[in-house]
Homo-oligomer: A and B are copies of this chain.
Amino acid sequence: MTTHTDRQYEEELASLREHILTMGGLVEKQITNAIRALVDRDQAVAQATVAKDTEVNRLDVEIDELCIRLLALRQPAGRDLRFITTALKITTDLERIGDRAVSISERALELAGEPPLKPYIDVPRMAEISSAMLRRSLDAFVREDAELALAVCRSDDEVDKLNGQIFRELLSYMIEDPQAITRAMRILFVSKYLERIADHATNIAEMVVFMVKGKSIRHLDVPSDV
């Protein structure tokens, strides 16, 4: 028998799930738009992406409040408690991913005012993988699917490899032509922001494994960072 309160509680949990997915979707779009601004040298798209960050931030605060309200009024235990505390931690990662999309847009704005250095191939590829990792880590969260979360963690190597590749390629540009240094640095920063986005998605996935299995796989490896 389901009481009125139970149903309300279930609805609140469902609303939390939806809010997280909405925030994730928004942040993913922010990454896509930031990369589009970079590749198309489109300053209007870059500026719109920067402006849109307030919406990401609003959702961050809203979800935190939702979690705290659920904890205060429903006093959840067990699985629900882990779900809510994980949601509290996930919003921080989503908000920081949003910040990195802003950083990419800022570099895109600068690069749009300078002559193009080279066509972008690896950077959009890296953005695609990172976005997919983000999407799958949140799917794993709402479905409480540890296997999917583990698959996300494994994708992180691919992003790190691409980041290393971009680093070496840009380094050779810089050595050959000092005039390219500033632009190459900006692109390098974009690559590092994307690597950081993939790290956030990996962190989310690790927290999902922790939530589902009740034990931590975080910290099995020493973090490495170019």
Binding site for B on A (CB under 8 A): 50, 53-54, 57-58, 60-61, 64, 67-68, 71-72, 75, 77-78, 81-82, 85, 88-89, 92-93, 99, 102-103, 106, 171, 174-175, 178, 181-182, 185, 188-189, 192-193, 203, 216, 218-219, 222-226
Q: With A and B bound together, what is the CA distance between A219 and B56 in angstroms?
A: 9
Are A181 and B174 closer than 8 Å at their CB atoms? yes
A178 to nearest B CB, angstroms? 5
- Within 8 Å CB of A218, what residues of B? 57, 60-61
A104 to nearest B CB, angstroms? 9
With known contacts A68-B85, A178-B178, A224-B106, A219–B60 Cβ distance under 8 A: yes
A106 to nearest B CB, angstroms? 7
Q: How many copies of this protein are present in the complex?
A: 2
Are B72 and A77 closer than 8 Å at their CB atoms? yes
- Within 8 Å CB of A174, what residues of B? 174, 178, 181
With known contacts A77-B72, A88-B89, A223–B103 Cβ distance under 8 A: yes
Q: With A and B bound together, what is the CA distance between A50 and B221 in angstroms?
A: 11
With known contacts A174-B178, A182-B171, A225-B103, A219–B81 Cβ distance under 8 A: no
